[in-house]
Amino acid sequence: MRNNRTTIYFKYGSMNSGKSLELIKVAFNYKENSIESLILKPRIDIRKPGFIFSRTGLELKANEFDIENSREIKDFLDKVDKKYSVILVEEANFLSPEIVDILVEYAYNNEVNTLMFFGLKNDFRGNLFEGSKRIIEIADKIEESTSICWCGKKARQNARVINNELIKSGPTVLIDNNQEVNYEVLCNYHFWESQLKPWDKNEI
């Protein structure tokens, strides 16, 4: 039976804004009320396979799927043998629009009350991720988590830094487990100016 009570959320923010921690907290709060959530995560971050983890040290087991293979997530959902009223999706920005639509269709068809996507909105170039764009188009509620730029303003951009230089070209996906690759969150102005945090705090 299709469910017109399904609410689709997009909780987005820059890096270091606590999105993963928020997902873990949401899952915990539902569990405290005897509501089990289906936890999903794209198989893209190799730092801790099979888990969602926060920089605070908290972690949560998750079901992973291939973002390049929509058949895999379809087969997984077809084999789900219990009803979930809540689905939580980590790193949703990496999803293809097709996979976003598959999850939405599943939620509407299976009496899911809450489908919540967590992820970045913009890539390192300052452009919308394809997955995030699609979620924004179909979400009922959109909420922003915040982080702070080195200047004190709200950070809305995720700058890729290689050898201490801000880079705005290259592959969209490049996880920061390489010693030469880091990411720094910036306000819109300092991202536009390609200005990273000064080494000397007196320069601020």
- What distance in Å separates the CA atoms of residue 137 and residue 60, rounded to the nearest whole number? 28
What own/partner pairs with CB < 8 Å and gap ≥ 24 does 124-129 have? 124/158, 124/159, 124/160, 124/167, 124/168, 124/170, 124/172, 124/174, 124/183, 125/168, 125/169, 126/157, 126/168, 126/191, 129/93, 129/94, 129/172
Q: Which residue out of 22, 64, 90, 91 is catalytically annotated?
A: 91
- What distance in Å separates the CA atoms of residue 10 and residue 143, rounded to the nearest whole number? 6
Start-end of H helices in the chain: 19-32, 70-79, 97-109, 130-138, 188-192
- CA gyration radius, the chain: 18
To the query of whether residue 91 is one of the catalytic residues in this protein, the response is yes
Candidates 63, 60, 18, 55; CA nearest to 38 is 63
Catalytic machinery residues: 91
